[in-house]
Each structure stands twice: as C-alpha cells, then as structure tokens.
Homo-oligomer: A and B are copies of this chain.
Amino acid sequence: MKRNTEGVPVLPVAPTRGRLRPLGLDEVRITGGFWARRRQVNATATLDHCRDWMERVGWTGNFRAAVEGRVPHDRRGREFADSDVYKLLEAMSWQTGHDLDPALTEAVAAAQEPDGYLNTAYGRPGQQPRYSDLEWGHELYCYGHLIQAGVAHARARGEGELTKIARRAADHVCATFGSQGVQGVCGHPVIETALVELARVTGEQRYLDQAALFIERRGRRTLDDGEFGHAYYQDDIPVRQATVLRGHAVRALYLAAGAVDVAVETGDDDLLAAVVRQWENTVARRTYLTGGMGSHHRDESFGDDFVLPPDRAYSETCAGVASVMLSWRLLLATGEPRFADLAERTLFNVVATSPSEDGRSFFYANTLHRRRRGTVPPADVQLPRAESSLRAPWFAVSCCPTNVARTLALLPGYLATTDESGIQLHQYADADISTGGVALRIRTDYPSADRVTVRVDRSPDHPWTLSLRVPAWTEGATARLADPDGAHRTVAPGTATVTRVFRPGDEIHLELPVAPRWIAPDPRIDAVRGTAAVQRGPLVYCAESVDLPDGHETDAIRVDTSAAPQDGPDATVVVPGELTAPGERAWPYRPLDPAPAAPADRTGVVLVPYHSWANRGPSTMRVWLPTTDPDR
C-alpha cells in the first residue's frame, strides 16, 4: 500500500481525538496466516464476484438507466441497491493493488443531479418523490455508503472523483436536512458515521454538525411507527438516553458507531458514555457466543435480554461488520481492551464465517444451529432473501458480500494503534508494522498456535512501551509473556506491557492458552440450558454432521463435560460423548420419570472451527451441545 498523495495515514477511521491513534494500512501489513489467506481470496475473487453480480442483476446499470431516462422501467433491485455499488467502490479503494473501475465511478457521477441529490430509485419522472419515504427509502443510507467510499478513496488514493461526488451529496444533505431543513432522519442509520468521517477528511465542520443533528434527532419518533415499531429504527428513545441496543441490529450498530464518532469529535463525554453503556448491556445480555448480534428473523432485530436462540440466530454478517466498526471506535476512544476482545470474537466467528473458502458465496445470517441438511444454492441464482441456509452467491438484499469485502480490505487498519507511550497490538496476525521510528515483525500461527512473537526490527534509542492485549478468553487459564531478556511472567486478561529501550532483534513472546475448553452459558439464556460449547482460543467450535458416523445428525450428540476437550488433527477438537437415537413417541411430553436413562455407548465427537463449517457439502450443525444428564 502506497501512501495517498497527501501523505496522511490510510485509516479506516481517523478520529482527531481519543485515547489511541490508529495505525493505517500504510503502516500495518498482514503478511501471512488466517487473515492473509482470507484477504487474498477477497482481493482475487470476492471483489470481482461482487462487481460481476451487480452487473448481472442490474444494480450498476441502474446509474446508466437513470441518466438515460430509463427509470423506473429499467431500474433493478431493492430501493437501497445503489449502496452496494458504493460499498464495492469502498472495498476496491481500500484494497491494495486493485484498480477502481473508472466507468463505474463515471456512471455514478453522471447520475448525480445538479443539486447533489443522487439516488436511482427516487425523484425522477415516474418514481416516488425524493425523501417521500424516510422510513424505508434508504436515500440517506445510500449517501452514507457513498460518502464512506469517497472517504476511503481520499485516504487510500487521494481525493478523486468519488470523493467529489461524496462532497456534493453531503453538501446537498446539509442543505436539505440542516437545522433549518427537513426535521427528519433516515430509517436506516449509517450517514452519521460517514459524515463525521468526511468532516475528518475535509476539515469541514458542517458535515460534523449535520451528523450531530441526525444523532440528536433520532429517538424522537419522527418516523412512522410501522410494522415493527419505532425501536426497529432506534427512533423510540434518544441516543443519549438509551441503555441497550435494540431493534434492527445493523441499524442499531451503525447508529452507535456514528454516535461515538460525533461524541469523540465534539468532546461529548455524555454521549460517549451512553454508547458505552449500551454496548456493555448488549454484550452482557444480547450477544451470541460468536459475537453475533440479532436473534429475530422477522425484523432482523435484537431480542430481549438473554433471548439468544441458537437455531434462530440471525446474527447477520452485516451486524458483525457493524459491531467491529463500533468496537474499534470505542477502543480508539477509550483504550479499553474489552472492545478489542469483542472485535476479535466477531471477526473470527462472524465476519470470517460468512464467506465460503473460495470467496464466492456468503452467509447472510449466521445460525448457531442447523437441524436439517440444506441444499447448496446454485451458483448462478440470486436467493430471494436472507436465509439461514447454506452460503449463496448473491441475495436480493445483498448487503453482506460487499460488507465482508470492505472489511477484509481494510482489516490491517484494525490491528494496532499508537499513543505517546508507544505501540499497542490489539489483534494478532502475521504482520509487519512500520510507523515513525519503529518497525516490528509479528510472527504467529494464531489462532491455531499458542505463541505470538514480536520481533523488533527498528526502534528509536529511547524507552517506549509495547502493549499487548491479553484476550479476555484466557480467563481461568494462564497466559505468559517473555520479554527480550527471556524473563517469563504470567499476564492477566487485559493489557500486558513491556517498557524498555528496544534493540533490533529483540523478541517478545506472548503465550496464549489456546487449548480447547468447555464454555457454559448464563443460566438466563433459556434456549441453551443444559448444553455446553467448546472454544479454542478465540475460535468457537461446532459439530458438523459430515464428521459423524453412519448418517447421524448433530442433534443426536450428547457430550460429557466432565472430561476436557482434546485437540484432534487438522484443527479439530474431540470431545467425549454419545450419539442418541430417541424412540418415536406419539406425544412428546410425558410424566417425569425419575429413573435415569440407560447409558449409551461413548464415542469421541469431532468438532471443527465454526467459521469453517458448511464448506464440505450440506450438513447439520450445532455449536451448543446438550450434555449427558439424568433428565434426558
């Protein structure tokens, strides 16, 4: 990655205040391992896949159709289809070595109207008027992704046509929705964070002001109640009064990210504290073991506290992306490692789960339990909607593939930060870091292996502090740090530091207890009572029927948690258990029988990393495994 023409860091998010300063894509390079493989597939397969599909289903063509007066007749896709073109442009902007498609940018530019308005679904003859449906129209949502693309282009490649389009759109938004304008908000937040980022890129205060206005207006019921109620679009309670995330998960998380951006730029500690409180309650009560969020299919929303059914886990890929965006912002603002902990969990178990190994099909929803073997969707068919089925190449609502693409493209920007004391490592990957007078070479097979080695290649001649996140998942096990002198010490979950005058060749070793462990759920989560899961390092594991003998399905598994899980070959884990075959009953309830069931034959049950499931053909799957107990 070259620096952009202005010589400022290539940052996914660039707050001007806050506890930590992020290191950009020009400063952090992922060189191997888990994420390098996925980024390679993203760069070589997924970006083209998204572009080809959007050509095929006509979403890129919508811009040409708008210019040529062929809408609404020739317009394709849902009302927010423009946004996926923008997300692809954003992904391409971040992606090293990938050229943007100039024709695409030109088509977008041509469709922008003289006053800055830009949307292929509204406002032209035969279409609904502009802003006639703030609840569902997604016009401001589309601007949000357009602006994020313009910001990415400016940061990664210097200001270009895409950035200019974004500026014009943002100016139009400020003129239309400013304090003297339409007193409304968009049914789908995302413009808030985009406007703050544009303010950061351009130095224009008015974009920040407009974002702050949108944050303050939300929660005052300016949107219609609608089928799902005001909470669906977070219009039920003002942002600074809310105590937990609720409603549509992606909307809630994008909004929270925007609120953090506004809070940081304006020094609004109350607003920041409100979002931290929402994050805390959401993580404590409304988050799946995978980091996934959203437990209702009907409205893609959070459930009530502790309502986390694994079989109905919506856990939308985009909610995972948005959750990482939020956690990263909170980490930068506060420096607290708990935010990096959740980001790690979500990256490995939601974001990495969505794409197939070949990067050409995707999970939209990321269920934690699949009872029936699905069928592999045809590679050339767009699924009508998000399904908890096997990965599909494209969806009628196809927000997830482009969201995965942009996240993988900018991922190096989520790894490390700096402050006056030194450098902080938040996520572990094989990576080279070069910033200021420091160059570090990080070598690890994490999350498979237990060791992260940080080798100092260059360092100034004065003491500074290297900070390493000790993941929260090490709780109850032992993590160790060896400093360049070879001295070992135990480190607790949180942050471990080494402060000294580093010399080239110095090595720091962090040893993390990645051995597989049983995980028990909070007893308030009704849906997984009487079950346990396995985690190995940050990776959640699951049972998949392709690993079971004799055509058994995963619902037959009962595990014995009195023995520890063991590492098996090829990144598998083996747990003791049995495969049951309950008899048929005419009625599935019976008077309680105090006599325990006869013991079944014990066997070793093979588990695989959750992110890797459904790459070996149709299968059943479960993360939470019922335990053998007298009640069965």
Residues on A facing B (Cβ under 8 Å): 225, 227, 280, 283-285, 287, 289, 297-298, 304-307, 309-312, 338, 369, 371-372, 384-385, 472, 475-477, 517-527, 529-533, 555, 561-562, 580, 582, 584-594, 626-627, 629, 631-632
Contacts and interface: CB of A to CB of B under 8 A. Distances in A.
A136 B563 CA distance: 55
A325 B627 CA distance: 40
B307 A587 contact: no
Contacts of A305: 371
A522 B585 contact: yes
A588 B521 contact: yes
Contact of A530 (B298, B309, B517, B631): B631
Given A311-B307, A523-B582, A524-B582, A587 B472 contact: yes
A582 B306 CA distance: 12
B523 A632 contact: yes
Contacts of A580: 523
Given A517-B591, A523-B580, A529-B530, 12 more contacts: A225-B384, A338-B586, A476-B590, A477-B591, A519-B589, A519-B592, A520-B589, A520-B592, A524-B582, A525-B588, A533-B589, A629-B629
24 contacts: A227-B385, A280-B586, A283-B586, A283-B587, A284-B586, A287-B587, A287-B588, A304-B371, A306-B371, A310-B526, A311-B526, A338-B586, A475-B591, A476-B590, A518-B591, A520-B591, A520-B631, A523-B631, A524-B555, A524-B582, A529-B626, A562-B594, A627-B631, A629-B631
Contact of A588 (B309, B524, B526, B590): B524
A372 B304 contact: yes
A136 to B, nearest CB: 16
A287 B589 CA distance: 10
Contacts of A584: 284
A309 B528 CA distance: 11
Given A520-B592, A587-B284, A587-B472, A307 B371 contact: yes
The 9 closest A-B pairs by CB, nearest first: A530-B530, A522-B588, A518-B592, A529-B530, A298-B298, A520-B592, A476-B591, A523-B632, A519-B589
A588 B297 CA distance: 22
A629 B523 CA distance: 11
A101 B336 CA distance: 71
Nearest to A308: B588
Contact of A284 (B310, B476, B588): B588
A225 B284 CA distance: 40
A243 to B, nearest CB: 13
A283 B584 CA distance: 12
Contacts of A626: 523, 526, 529
Q: How many copies does the complex hold?
A: 2
Contacts of A525: 588
Contacts of A519: 589-592
A341 to B, nearest CB: 8
A37 to B, nearest CB: 28
A153 B326 CA distance: 64
B338 A590 contact: no
A587 to B, nearest CB: 6
A5 to B, nearest CB: 44
Contacts of A287: 587-588
Given A298-B297, A589-B289, A527 B309 contact: yes
Contacts of A631: 520, 523, 529-530, 627, 629
A384 B227 contact: yes
B284 A593 contact: no
Nearest to A307: B311
Contacts of A477: 591
A188 B608 CA distance: 44
Contacts of A555: 524, 526
A223 to B, nearest CB: 15
A301 to B, nearest CB: 12
Contacts of A523: 580, 582, 626, 631-632
Given A304-B372, A311-B307, A594-B562, A589 B629 contact: no
Contacts of A309: 309, 312, 527
A530 B280 CA distance: 28
Given A309-B309, A527-B527, A475 B384 contact: no
A593 B227 CA distance: 43
Contact of A532 (B311, B517, B533, B592): B592
Nearest to A298: B298
Contacts of A585: 284, 522
A371 B524 CA distance: 11
Contacts of A594: 561-562
Nearest to A593: B520
A373 B565 CA distance: 41
Given A227-B384, A530-B529, A631-B627, A306 B592 contact: no
Contacts of A304: 371-372
Most buried by B among A304, A524, A587: A587
A443 B114 CA distance: 84
Nearest to A369: B526
A214 to B, nearest CB: 27
A569 to B, nearest CB: 24
Contacts of A280: 586
A384 B284 CA distance: 32
A472 B590 CA distance: 10
A584 B529 CA distance: 18
A620 to B, nearest CB: 11
A520 B587 CA distance: 11
Nearest to A627: B631
Contacts of A520: 589-593, 631
Residue of A298, A472, A533, A591 with highest tally of chain B CB at under 10 A? A591
